[in-house]
């Protein structure tokens, strides 16, 4: 009797969830409205991206961190950043001008999402955000000196 009950629940859940998702236009993976094409990465692409994030080079007397450089570019430059903080999963920033923010660049740095609120912005990176924050703070401090 368990197989017919399982099949019945499967059909019931499928119909109900599909109807709710379509009726309320709920965002599910692959149904984002950002218009970006989803790109599938190979293992080689992933490894290259990881090594690029960890490689630091000396540029103009400042140790260059590619991830921090890209985050700064996505935020409209280092001069646009007023305050840097983080919580468990989000990089919280206060900016001078929210119009300079480029969400596409921020998402290319590994951000899951970007939330604009008042004069601040929250960039969602996940549990590794504390490392990203400390590297970004060092990067910003070095450029401002």
Q: Annotated active-site positions, please?
A: 87
**How many other C-beta atoms are found inside a 10 Å radius of the C-beta of residue 81?**
21
Nearest to 72 by CA among 138, 2, 128, 4: 138
All residues at 6 or more sequence positions from 14 whose CB lies less than 8 Å from its CB, including other chains: none
Helix 129-144, helix 66-74: angle, nearest 10: 80
Cα separation of 56 and 72, whole Å? 16
Instruction: Determine the straight-line distance between the first and last CA of the chain, rounded to whole angstroms.
Output: 73
């Amino acid at each position: 009797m368990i197989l017919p009950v399982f099949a019945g629940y499967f059909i019931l859940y499928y119909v109900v969830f599909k109807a709710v998702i379509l009726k309320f236009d709920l965002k599910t993976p692959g149904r984002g409205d950002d218009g970006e094409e989803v790109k599938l990465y190979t293992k080689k692409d992933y490894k290259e991206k990881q090594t690029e994030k960890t490689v630091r080079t000396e540029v103009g007397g400042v140790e260059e961190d590619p991830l921090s450089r890209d985050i700064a570019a996505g935020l409209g430059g280092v001069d646009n950043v007023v305050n840097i903080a983080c919580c468990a999963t989000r990089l919280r920033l206060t900016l001078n001008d929210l119009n300079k923010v480029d969400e596409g660049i921020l998402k290319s740095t590994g951000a899951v999402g970007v939330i604009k609120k008042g004069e601040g912005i929250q960039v969602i990176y996940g549990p590794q955000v504390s490392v990203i924050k400390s590297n970004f703070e060092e990067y910003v401090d070095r450029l401002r000196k």
